[in-house]
Amino acid sequence: MAEARLSPRVIPDRLQSRGSRVLKSWESLLLVVAVLIFTINSFASPYFLDPWNLSDATFNFTEKAMIAFAMALVIISGEIDLSVASIIALSSTAMGLAVTMGADTPMLVVVGLGTGLLCGAVNGLLITGLGLPSIVVTIGTMSLFRGLSFIILGDQAFTGYPASFAYFGQGYVWWVFSFEFALFVLFALIYSVLLHKTNFGRAVYAIGNNQTAALFSGVRVGRVKFILFLLTGLMAGIASICLTSRLGSTRPSIALGVELEVVTMVVLGGVSILGGSGTIPGVVLAAFIMGMVTFGFGLLNVPGIVMSIFIGVLLISVIALPILWARARRRVAH
Amino acid sequence: MKIFKALMVTTAVSLALMAGTAHAENKKIALVVKALGIGFFEAANKGAQEAAKELGDVEIIYTGPTSTTAEGQIEVINSLVAQKVDAIAISANDKDALVPALKKAMDRGIKVISWDSGVAPEGRAMHLNPSSNPLIGNMIIKLAADQLPDGGDVAVLSASATATNQNTWIEEMKKVQGNYKGINVVATVYGDDLADKSYRETQGLIQSYPNLKAIIAPTSVGIVAAAQAVEDAGKVGQINVTGLGLPSEMAGHVKAGSSKSFAIWNPIDLGYSATMIAYDLIGGAEAKPGAELKMGRMGTVKLDDNNEGAMADPFVYDASNVEEFAKIF
């Protein structure tokens, strides 16, 4: 360090070269992990590398990933939405009710999306309108929305969805590519552009890094947050249409516990749980990793609890790794 | 690099598992349960393993989700379809939601049956009920009559007045009452499947009918409350409590003497029979109304118009075996 102090100080225009930044990024690490898991799975089971099997496996994550994109934005802005699984349940129940009233498939889609948006609006109003913390509000609405489904359905189930409705969760766009997978790709692109290429996306990062500073810089914090909760509601509505179509029926216990899997996917994707940083490509990779691990373990008939342990270890590593890394670097620097 | 360490462990585990399961010539029958780690289903697996051993060329894949969700079972079904198992025998978390996934399995040539908790008819070849309503109705009165060679007054403690299961069983019981000489059903009361209400209703029965010899409770909540009430009233030896109950909850009362015997399905037999039926279907047997499918030591099962069949009489538990089963469920 002695000679560095003697030489003239150069202030670089960026701290790392673009290449090294990409290489050291969380996303590249995830990509390595994804490739590794894919390779291990291919060797571990003779059934893994079959296009139809892989296509079946995508259903393990497509619905959750679609919500995870919107959830990533919410978490980057420093908030959280734990009511998404209950929104799925309520949307599905509303669609079931619509079926009993004779609704056709386009009407069902409208009902599903509408219920999702409505639930998102309720969350958004309570959080931005009344200024309540999102974690409290959405824990409340998590019980509220699912409670409503239970009141409407009890121990009954709605079945009898029209045959054309099955397309959303069981249909294929081309060869092995399911409609759900196509939606997943489409939303991955839309949310990447929204977060990384628009003013709205910048505002989301700004709010997550420093809400007060964002407010004084002219970012309409309340409006941005309201839109974010509308988006998670809408995505939950879309997921609900897919899941209901895939199951061909509605029960109030539908999608139980999905909110935690969605949050796991987002955090695993490198989105900081404290807000302010994260990318959509990271979430996409995390979705693939979780889907492939679930499917790979399933092919080997590993009990699901081992899978939960694996995801738990992965998640803790994800949160601990950057902190340990930073600490280690500080120690080296001293 | 904890992630990589975790991955290494996974690889090792995967490879170890691979080595243990590679028997291509064996028929693979998957026993899918509501959730792993439930005693009842572990016992069913024991029965399935017994069947596999007896058959010789069968490998049992015992699996299920970690929580009792339909979505979890669908993930399991998808991975079983991918592995090209020969048959899936499932106890369903949701009668309807599993239908599309199971239909797909059947389209790919996999034999699908449900047991214990059924799937809607479109989603399976047949459903195996542990018992049937007439068999249960007969069993509950037989258990009471067996202890009363000279006949006597018996009362029924049911769940709620609107409970479909219990009402059907009591109806079936009354149909065969004539076969048991001297047995006189004096009352039917309702404990609503609440422990305290069942207890009070039993106390009422004891006071109203001084000659009461037996109480039949075809509900697992009612039977425990009734046995407790009989013990508390000091009527052990005078009034016998019987009906349908769980061994783990009834072991103490059998020991105390308030219940001589009671019945419920035997999960070991259920897992055994489901495996045998699946094997029979793989071997070419067809599941259609009126067909008889082989269940090994359990005999055969005859299918009704819905392709459903009843395995056997409810299994009787008494002082000789209740302790052993209390550990299971």
Q: Are A112 and A94 in contact (CB under 8 A)?
A: yes
Q: Are B197 and B226 in contact (CB under 8 A)?
A: no
Q: How many residues does chain B have?
A: 329
CB contact under 8 Å between B82 and A301, yes or no, is: no
CB contact under 8 Å between B63 and A40, yes or no, is: no
Q: Which of residues 24-43 of A touch B (CB under 8 A)?
A: 29, 33, 36-37, 40
Same domain, B140 and B288: no
- Torsion over CA: A116, A121, A126, A131 (sign): positive
Read off the CATH number of the domain in which A139 is found.
1.10.3470
Whether A141 has its CB under 8 Å from any CB of chain B: the answer is: no
Q: Angle at CA B115, nearest 5°, toward B111 and B120? A: 75
Residue (of B19, B17, B315, B313) closest to B176 by Cα position: B313
Whether A277 has its CB under 8 Å from any CB of chain B: the answer is: no
Question: Is the ipTM value over 0.85, yes or no?
Answer: no
Domain ends where: B205, B238, B264? B264
Contacts of B14 in chain A (CB under 8 A): 40, 44, 296, 300, 302
Q: What is the pLDDT of residues B215-227, one digit of tens each?
A: 999 998 899 999 9
Distance from CA of B12 to the nearest CA of A (A): 10
Number of alpha carbons in the 13 Å side-chain half-sphere of residue A302: 26
Q: Is residue A23 part of a domain?
A: no
Split at pLDDT 50, 70, 90, the class of A2 is very low
Residues contacting residue B212 through CB under 8 Å, at least 6 positions apart? B152, B153, B154, B155, B186, B205, B206, B239
Residue (of B318, B323, B288, B281) closest to B302 by Cα position: B288
Mean pLDDT, residues B178-197 taken together: 91
Size of interface A-B (CB pairs under 8 A): 131
Split at pLDDT 50, 70, 90, the class of B329 is confident
Q: Is residue A266 part of a domain?
A: yes
Determine the Cα–Cα distance for residues B276 and B295; give it in Å rounded to an integer.
5
Split into its structural domains, chain B has a count of 2
Split at pLDDT 50, 70, 90, the class of A21 is low
Range of the domain at B187: 133-264
Q: Is the pTM of this model over 0.90?
A: no
Q: Are A299 and A45 in contact (CB under 8 A)?
A: yes
Same domain, B198 and B138: yes
Read off the CATH number of the domain in which B71 is found.
3.40.50.2300
CB contact under 8 Å between B83 and A47, yes or no, is: yes
Q: Which chain B residue lies closest to A57 (C-alpha atoms)?
A: B78
Q: Is residue A18 part of a domain?
A: no
Closest CB to A53: pick one of B6, B82, B95. B82
**Chain B contact residues (CB < 8 Å to A):** 2-4, 6-7, 10-11, 13-15, 17-18, 21, 36-37, 61, 63-67, 69-72, 74-76, 78-84, 94-97, 99-100
Higher-pLDDT residue of B164, A266: A266
Mean pLDDT, residues A278-282 taken together: 95
Q: Is residue A160 part of a domain?
A: yes
Q: What is the pLDDT of residues B109-160, one digit of tens each?
A: 999 999 988 899 999 999 999 898 899 999 999 999 999 988 899 999 998 8
Distance from CA of B77 to the nearest CA of A (A): 9
Same domain, B138 and B258: yes
CB contact under 8 Å between B14 and A296, yes or no, is: yes
Determine the Cα–Cα distance for residues B162 and A241; give it in Å rounded to an integer.
35
CB contact under 8 Å between B2 and A320, yes or no, is: yes
Q: Is residue A211 part of a domain?
A: yes
Same domain, B194 and B218: yes
Residue (of A225, A234, A245) closest to A164 by Cα position: A245
Q: Is residue B3 part of a domain?
A: no
Contacts of B70 in chain A (CB under 8 A): 247, 251, 253-254
Per-residue pLDDT, A321: 77
Per-residue pLDDT, A10: 64
Per-residue pLDDT, A156: 83
Per-residue pLDDT, B22: 46
CA dihedral A195, A197, A199, A203 (to 10 degrees): 30
Q: Are B68 and B293 in contact (CB under 8 A)?
A: no
Q: Is residue A88 part of a domain?
A: yes
Range of the domain at A156: 54-302
Split at pLDDT 50, 70, 90, the class of A83 is very high
Percent of chain A with pLDDT over 70: 93
Written as six digits, the tokens of A38 are 């894919």
| Chain mean pLDDT for chain A | 90
Higher-pLDDT residue of B327, A221: A221
Closest CB to A301: pick one of B63, B84, B100. B63
Place of tokens 């609704």: A103
Q: Which chain B residue lies closest to A48 (C-alpha atoms)?
A: B82
Q: What is the pLDDT of residues A116-150, one digit of tens each?
A: 999 999 999 999 999 999 999 999 999 999 999 99
Q: Is residue B322 part of a domain?
A: no
Considering only CA atoms, give the Rg of chain B: 22
Same domain, B29 and B119: yes
Distance from CA of B83 to the nearest CA of A (A): 6
Disruptive mutation site among A53, A56, A64 for chain B (greatest number of B CBs within 10 Å): A56
Split at pLDDT 50, 70, 90, the class of A13 is low
Contacts of A303 in chain B (CB under 8 A): 36, 63, 66
Split at pLDDT 50, 70, 90, the class of B107 is very high
Tell me how far the alpha carbon of residue B236 is from its chain's centroid: 29
Same domain, B52 and B79: yes
CB contact under 8 Å between A251 and B70, yes or no, is: yes
Q: Is residue B7 part of a domain?
A: no
Distance from CA of A4 to the nearest CA of B (A): 31
Per-residue pLDDT, B21: 47
Per-residue pLDDT, A209: 94
Lowest-pLDDT choice from A104-118, B19-33, B253-267: B19-33
Q: Which chain B residue lies closest to A157 (C-alpha atoms)?
A: B96
Split at pLDDT 50, 70, 90, the class of B11 is low
Q: What is the pLDDT of residues A59-72, one digit of tens each?
A: 989 999 999 999 99
Split into its structural domains, chain A has a count of 1
Split at pLDDT 50, 70, 90, the class of A229 is very high
In terms of DSSP H, where are the helices of A198-257? Answer: 199-209, 211-216, 221-247
